[in-house]
Amino acid sequence: MLGIDNKVFMESIVVTSVKLDDTNGTNWLTLDWNENDTSDRALYVKVNAGDRTIDLTGNLTVELASTLNQDLTTDASPTHAGLTLSGLNTANGIVQTDGSGVLSTAVDLPTATTIGTAYVYRVGGTDVAVADGGTNIGVYAVGDLIYASTTGVLSKLADVAVGQYLASGGVNTAPAWATLNQAAVAGLTTGSSPAFTAVSLGAGELTAGSINRASGSLTLEVGDAAQITATNALVTVAHDLCINETAYFDAVQTATGDGTTTIDWGLGNKFHFTHGEMGETFTFTAPGGPCNILMRITQDGVGGRDCTWPGTVIWLGSEPTWTDGGASKNIIVCGYYDGTNYWCQGTAWQT
């Protein structure tokens, strides 16, 4: 220790506490050094009472040995009205590191910030990935629909003109817009699609075209009751049938005799038979239920040909004399089938 001009210069001093008093001895400040080989080192700066301000001019450097964890503390944590780091003065910004411990500031998070390998999403930044619960799509138009175009990828299906419907393209195939008369999707044809199990129509909604069902039955309901049911072989009308104009047959069954003729009344109620060069034996195939039948018999160019009828034919009155028919002359036979027998009556031969 060396003293010069009433000042003391100490090259080195080892103490655990230093107390600094003011001139009147009422206020003091202590610096306590707590050193313990088994715990952290701590330097305590204490004042005896009241608020005190410690002004540090110039730069304060605290160097920590790599092998020690040393803290600069007070009895109570200091309260800061603000902290300014030189060079980091961007207004309302964020503090970030470049990975080597050097701090810098930025106005906002970058658009593709990651923590580890995970993105940190923000408003206006990178679109949220599908795997993170987003769509990875940032722009939409009114009417766009979102669908999975492949595994883990969402795409937009743009809106189209009025009147189209969304049709499935099948398993692992994207959907598409289509109309009822357009094969816009693979497998969609006007002959077989669309298929409806039930269709409700308001007044005047079906004004043209047809309803096609490839198999099974088609039922027209009014209210809650079936009125017309159609299959490939039968149309059933549940109630009265009112026809405002003529009901007619689009064809009449015909045959020319060869000695034996089978008439299938299930194929039509009207039959025109022309004799061959011999008499004829008829066999009847019954229709689906009771009905009226009508038969026109025409003699060949010779005439006088005879007819033999099935045992289920019952004549009302006398059976006509078939051999009385002249060459190329006609007779009309009308009948009623009751489900078992044919009740018939014939007119006189054409003269």
Residue 224: strand, helix, or coil: coil
Arithmetic mean of pLDDT, 191-201? 54
**What is the predicted pLDDT for the residue at 168?**
75
Lowest mean pLDDT, pick from 154-158, 168-172, 314-318: 168-172
Residue extents of the structural domains in the chain: 2-74, 253-346
* Predicted confidence band of residue 99 (pLDDT cuts 50, 70, 90): low
Residues 6+ apart with CB under 8 A from 143: 158, 159
**What is the predicted pLDDT for the residue at 1?**
45
User: Is residue 194 reached through a cis peptide bond, with omega within 30 degrees of 0 on the bond before it?
Assistant: yes
Backbone angles phi, psi at 202, to 5 degrees: -85, 180
Residue 7: strand, helix, or coil: strand
Please say if the pLDDT value at position 298 is more than 70: yes
Lowest mean pLDDT, pick from 102-111, 246-255, 261-270, 307-316: 102-111
Backbone angles phi, psi at 315, to 5 degrees: -90, 135
Q: Which two tokens stand for residue 152?
A: 């883990």
Q: Which two tokens stand for residue 59?
A: 């730069």
Which residue type does 278 have? M
Task: Please give the residue that has the higher pLDDT: either 308 or 81.
Answer: 308
pTM to 2 decimal places? 0.44
**What is the predicted pLDDT for the residue at 169?**
73
Please say if the pLDDT value at position 20 is more than 50: yes
Beta bridge partners of 95: 105
Gap between the Cα atoms of 346 and 351, Å rounded: 15
**What is the predicted pLDDT for the residue at 232?**
72
Residues 6+ apart with CB under 8 A from 55: none
**What is the predicted pLDDT for the residue at 65?**
43
**What is the predicted pLDDT for the residue at 336?**
98
